[in-house]
Chain A
């Protein structure tokens, strides 16, 4: 029973962790809470939904390639949307007060949610079941193939991201911009391109999380992003916002805590517990587990 809950928690945690990466990367570079990220997640899920319903699988042996294409396309679509959102609604506010981009992001969030509600559907829609899910029994614990897949994909994407940021030249540029915009610019880095890249990657990860979420829960709705969004943000804060390793650990910890709370306390209060964790972390350790102490710049 406990191990099974742990497995569920890890699956949920993988989703939160991938989702949290988008929040933490944007925060690291622009110091803003990208409130519209939850809508990128939702739109990503809808992209995946649309692709899954439109593209036929020609033969079962193409299934892995089929899903690869779907993931890449919906990742790219969601990433592109995130870049557009940044260009039109955050970039003009880069030198405004700190709350201005947050308010603008809330506007984007309202806009995208209602756009999807009006153009697609206000009802929740079943996600196409193209993946036949198999059940495994491992040491007496029931695991299904989708859970293994989600966990594996999350770990894989995180490793790729980690390598990208620490080993490549673009990753180095990203770290430089996060450190200091002006100095990075003086070193010949195109700050705007790097910021767009961050939104492309963060948004893409958000989009793929949306598709995974749709596959895992089997249905999507126009407002599906809000609650997981707040929880992913909680995960990012818990790990230390701006810190990529922190987002991963925060996501897994939150996923496990939530599932255990739902299993052993009450499923009604699992959302309350996430919110309480958010408040407590922000109050007592706003730098999170891995975050470094930053003195506020004046």
Chain B
């Protein structure tokens, strides 16, 4: 039986619009908040998937670009500049810094690249922690007496979680569409070719460095996007939020959910962010303490027994399971 694909998408879209309303009217504000958080992580993960999943470059400092987006947005917003101007500016800055970092660094081999991104991520965090005049150091932004401007759309003022949830969903759908179109474009095929065999890709006439850079910058911009939205939503930002372990958590979501697959990335977010947050009131804080222990274990088991992740990307699974030689 074949169901029209657009119909499924329309149903999903309607559910996404209606479910938050139902939750809101039932007074389930916590669920709305968790949904918003999951949405932010989905943008991050789908963005990171372009680097880690499609191109096969392990990025252990992705949160640095989330931080760049968030700090840029916060600093501009405090000055009273509208969200619709700060957003493109933070995206631009995030992408630009990502370009500056990527241009020299992307020549490196896989594991060295991972370490360099880690080091860069830590440098950004340390700078945010120590440039008091700019970032207010560990106390975070905004400073006492300052306020991050509210997002306004015509006469609509984004104040409560519900409106922000819709805003996040809007950007998430945009992220997914761009990522999906990219995957199935010429560039997307080039990325996969680079992931599977860089030398063969080069021999096929792909400008490896250039294409890697496109993916790297694009994915960094999604990081900045998530940061800019998050800071407007929560209204606070501090260097604590961008530790190395946060970046690692993102990578483990991708590994567990399924690298190179948008649905896998989203599943990873649900498993590692959604479910623990939903279970928090039920099982108490004890469970939350144990979750990282469990994630670490799941990560090892998944990478050994099902390296393509729970929801496999067809291309990646094919490649992983035909490689019996050597």
1/0 per residue, CB under 8 A from A, across B283-326: the answer is 00000011011011111100110010000000000000000001
Contact of B115 among A118, A278, A296 (CB under 8 A): A278
The answer for the CA separation of A33 and B112 in the assembled complex, in Å, is: 9
Cβ–Cβ < 8 Å partners of A69 in chain B: none
Interface residues on A, range: 35 or more
Query: A106-114, A189-197, A210-218: which lies at the B interface?
Result: A106-114
1/0 per residue, CB under 8 A from A, across B191-203: the answer is 0000000010000
Contact of B303 among A104, A112, A118, A283 (CB under 8 A): A104
A283 and B104: CB pair below 8 A?
A: yes
**Chain B binding site: helix, strand, loop or mixed by DSSP?**
helix
Q: Please judge, given known A-B contacts A89-B300, A93-B303, A110-B248, whether A279 and B119 are in contact too, CB under 8 Å.
A: yes
Interface residues on B, range: 35 or more
The answer for the CA separation of A50 and B160 in the assembled complex, in Å, is: 51
With a 10 A CB-CB cut-off, give which of A88, A96, A110, A115 has the most chain B CB atoms: A110
A106 and B111: CB pair below 8 A?
A: no
User: Within 8 Å of chain B (Cβ to Cβ): is A161?
Assistant: no
Contact of A103 among B105, B116, B123, B303 (CB under 8 A): B303
Considering only residues 42-92 of chain B, those with a C-beta below 8 Å from chain A are 56, 58, 60
Query: A125-133, A151-159, A268-276: which lies at the B interface?
Result: A268-276
Considering only residues 250-287 of chain A, those with a C-beta below 8 Å from chain B are 268-269, 271-272, 275-276, 278-279, 282-283, 286
A106 and B251: CB pair below 8 A?
A: yes
**Chain A binding site: helix, strand, loop or mixed by DSSP?**
helix
User: Within 8 Å of chain A (Cβ to Cβ): is B16?
Assistant: no
**Shortest distance from the beta carbon of A88 to any chain B beta carbon, whole Å:** 8
What are 29 A-B residue pairs whose CB atoms fall within 8 Å in the complex?
A: A89-B304, A98-B109, A99-B111, A100-B303, A100-B307, A102-B114, A103-B251, A104-B300, A106-B251, A106-B252, A108-B296, A109-B296, A110-B245, A110-B295, A111-B297, A112-B296, A113-B292, A115-B293, A118-B293, A226-B244, A230-B122, A268-B130, A272-B123, A276-B123, A279-B116, A282-B108, A283-B105, A286-B112, A296-B109
Residues of B bordering A, CB below 8 Å: 56, 58, 60, 104-105, 108-112, 114-116, 118-120, 122-123, 126-127, 130, 199, 244-245, 248, 251-252, 255, 289-290, 292-293, 295-300, 303-304, 307, 326
